[in-house]
Structure 1
Amino acid sequence: MEKVMRLATEKGVVIFTKSSCCMCYAVNILFRELGVFPVVHEIDKDPEGKEMEKAITKLGCNAPVPAVFIGGKLVGSTNEVMSLHLSGSLTPLIRPFRL
């Protein structure tokens, strides 16, 4: 869990993904279209990926990927991010991290 939390705070928006996950790709594109270029960690390419996946789940993410952190805080997975976006609540969260 320590590694996940350390990586989650390295930039304003951090996404933990898997390289073959289409929802991870969609969430990443959403942030890019909103003017945020997140740090993306593909946990399936990390030797500690299985432990990272378990840690993300223990933190409360309903799906291990994509796991989105904004300002070092877990926002959630695809459903939570899309709900925030559709309600207009995502833009204020990411405003400080936009280019």
Structure 2
Amino acid sequence: MDKVTGLASENGVVIFNKNSCCLCYAVNILFQVLRAGMEKVNTMLGCNALVPAVFISGRLVGLTDEIMSLHLSGSLIPMLKPY
């Protein structure tokens, strides 16, 4: 967990994902469309981590549902403005 929090605090936007996950793909495309500078990290930790997990400014913002809800409410773009 220290690696996760360290990486999340060192980068503005971090997305933990799996290559085979369609929801991860959708969230990555959303962030590309919004032109957010991000660090994508494939989870190869040997566990069934919930993904995509999105961190912004070192804080866990949420999984797919939370990210899409923030975007639809207009709250995601202001969070990404610095990045």
Aligned length: 83
Q: TM-score scaled by structure 1? A: 0.78
1:32-65, CA deviations, whole angstroms, 9 ceiling, x for partnerless residues?
1001131000013xxxx13693xxxxxxxxxx10
The reply on whether 1:81 has 2:77 as its aligned counterpart is no
Instruction: Please tell me whether the aligned partners of residues 85 and 91 of structure 1 are also in contact (alpha carbons under 8 angstroms).
Output: yes
3-state SS, counterpart of residue 41 of structure 1: strand
- The equivalences for 1:1-99 within 5 A come to 1-44=1-44, 49-50=45-46, 53=49, 64-97=50-83
Q: Which amino acid aligns with 2:64?
A: T
Structure 1 vs Structure 2 CA RMSD: 1.4
Partner SS for 2:65: helix
Q: Secondary structure at the match of 2:31?
A: helix
Q: What SS does structure 1 have at the residue aligned with 2:10?
A: coil
